[in-house]
Amino acid sequence: MAFRIWFYFLVFTTLLLSILWLLQITFVESYYERNRVQTIDNQISEIEVLLSKGSIDTTRDAANKLLSYDNLCGAIYNGFGTNLANLNDVKSNCFLKELPQATINEYMIMAYESPSGVMSIPFVDDTNLQETHLVGKYSKVNDNVYYIFVSGSVQLADVTVHVLKKQFTLIALSIFSIATIVTLILARKLSFPIVRITESANRLAMGDLTVNFEGEDYTEIKALSKTLNYATQEFKKTDELRRDLVANVSHDIKTPLTMIRAYAEMVQDLSGDDPEMRAKHLGVILDETEHLENLVTDMLTLSKYEANAFEIRLSAFNLQKHIEKTVSLFSGMDVDFVVNVKPKVKVVADEVKMGQVLYNFVNNATKYVGDDNIIEINTHEVGEEIVVSVTDHGIGIADEILEHIWDRYYKIDKNHKRTVKSSGLGLSIVKAICDATGSKCWVESTVGEGSTFFYTLKLETPSITHQPYERDGFF
């Protein structure tokens, strides 16, 4: 990684230096020439302004200062070719005063006949062998005709170019040196936390769930470390759930098998000739067989829902009759049901699957019913849905436990106790059904007061006259 960073930085530096070389060395002379010609044109325009405001003498004095600043020289002629003023001809060694009058007249004709009134000629000054540019302009100021000539060198001195090249070489070496040092620092700064994260990831891949991902100064690396730490915690939870699942399933399978074998041996050895004792022992065997069958059935059901290997059959049905039918399945229990539901409310859902949801909620409530032995079933319309709730007044569930109750075999007290009619997968099946059918399910609970389980159904004819049913995180 360090080499790649250095290589990319080197390419970037080389690109910048190449651009700098083109601007400072390759194109500097042509740029300088264009700039000098433009300066000459600008100075002629300034002289025109001076002529319009003052006399030749005042114009000469002001123009001398202007041209001296840019190392230019010039001359002003009237319409008859008479020299009215030489401009900065002493300090700049101006060659214009050496030109014969015939040449001056020729340049004046060229300017006069030019559509723009301007003539421009590049040539080499014999005195210093430098490329020089002469610009002449035909100008009419205050009804007076003037020919204004300005010339100057447009060639960058060789010594200047040599200095620039030498300076560029030093700059390039300095930049490459600095780039190398900065690259090494950046490479170490960037690669070190990534290397540490990689090492931690390898440890995690080998099964070390105690690993911690540490981020440093960079936001992206901090975010990555935070995400990986979150993933590690989830792996820990998954591993713990896996261990619990294996232990609990093993327990729930082994226990009935052990009892079936024990009672079968008792029938074989002890009660084979005693009809009453034999019937009792066979009853236990049948109960344990039923429990084992229920466990396998629930596990297959849960797997089917989680794999989406099922068909949803929507139909409209009466909610009151649906609830009463489910409650009737618990008629033999010492529990009082309080049902509050409108008699003519119809919902659209898969009646069989949502009946399984309600059955599991009611069955769960019967296990934790309070001293009053009352289970409440209420409904409340919310927009186009109706919320069904099942409430018990039992021990309640602690807040830190609520988010785990939908997990397979999650035990609140971690002490697994097998019940005859329960597989431990009821709430997991409820969650899988609701997720698969688009229904919502949740729970609210207060320790010592009881728990309320909710799920939603679509109304066949939505009502808009009811107030919203509020709960945390739902609306």
CATH number of the structural domain 219-306 = 1.10.287.130
Whether the pLDDT of residue 261 is over 90: the answer is no
CATH 1.10.287.130 residue ranges for the chain: 219-306
Nearest to 459 by CA among 353, 348, 351, 350: 348
> What per-residue confidence (pLDDT) applies to 361?
93
Whether the pLDDT of residue 160 is over 70: the answer is no
> What per-residue confidence (pLDDT) applies to 241?
64
Among the residue ranges 51-55, 313-317, 434-438, 469-473, the one predicted with the least confidence is 469-473
Provide the pLDDT confidence category of residue 346 given band limits of 50, 70 and 90. very high
Provide the pLDDT confidence category of residue 467 given band limits of 50, 70 and 90. very low
Provide the pLDDT confidence category of residue 475 given band limits of 50, 70 and 90. very low
CA distance 196 to 211: 11
> What per-residue confidence (pLDDT) applies to 462?
53
Nearest to 451 by CA among 400, 411, 376, 392: 392
> What per-residue confidence (pLDDT) applies to 216?
64
Provide the pLDDT confidence category of residue 471 given band limits of 50, 70 and 90. very low
CA distance 351 to 323: 11
Cβ neighbours of 314 (radius 10 Å) = 10
> What per-residue confidence (pLDDT) applies to 465?
40
* Fold category of 315-459 in CATH: Heat Shock Protein 90 (3.30.565)
| Domain 2-159 CATH class label | alpha beta
Most confident listed range (138-152, 169-183, 282-296): 138-152
In 156-218, which ranges are continuous DSSP H helix?
A: 158-205
pTM, two decimals, is 0.46
DSSP labels, 318-380 = EHHHHHHHHHHTTTTSS-EEEEE--TT-EEEE-HHHHHHHHHHHHHHHHHS--TT-EEEEEEE
CA distance 366 to 377: 12
Whether the pLDDT of residue 456 is over 90: the answer is yes
> What per-residue confidence (pLDDT) applies to 463?
47
The CA-CA-CA angle for residues 32, 34, 39, to 5°, reads: 90
CATH 3.30.450.20 residue ranges for the chain: 2-159
> What per-residue confidence (pLDDT) applies to 409?
63
Provide the pLDDT confidence category of residue 227 given band limits of 50, 70 and 90. confident
What confidence tens digit (pLDDT) does each residue in 6-34 have? 777 778 888 888 887 777 677 677 777 78
> What per-residue confidence (pLDDT) applies to 419?
46
Provide the pLDDT confidence category of residue 472 given band limits of 50, 70 and 90. very low
Portion of the chain with pLDDT greater than 70, in percent: 81
Separation of CA 188 from chain center: 26
Q: How many CA atoms lie within 13 A of 199 on its CB side?
A: 8
What confidence tens digit (pLDDT) does each residue in 108-155 have? 999 999 998 989 888 776 655 567 888 999 999 888 899 999 988 876
Q: Give the residue, 470 or 96, on which the prediction is more confident.
A: 96
CA distance 60 to 88: 9
CA distance 128 to 92: 12
CATH 3.30.565.10 residue ranges for the chain: 315-459
Average pLDDT, the chain: 80
> What per-residue confidence (pLDDT) applies to 248?
62
Whether the pLDDT of residue 421 is over 70: the answer is no
Helix (H, G, I), strand (E, B) or coil at 473: coil
Q: Give the residue, 179 or 55, on which the prediction is more confident.
A: 55
Report, as an integer, the average pLDDT of 316-323: 94
Hey, what long-range contacts does 123-130 have (CB within 8 A, 24 or more apart)?
A: 125/95, 125/153, 127/93, 127/95, 128/153, 130/155
Instruction: Find all residues with CB under 8 Å of 229, minimum gap 6, and list them.
Output: 212, 213
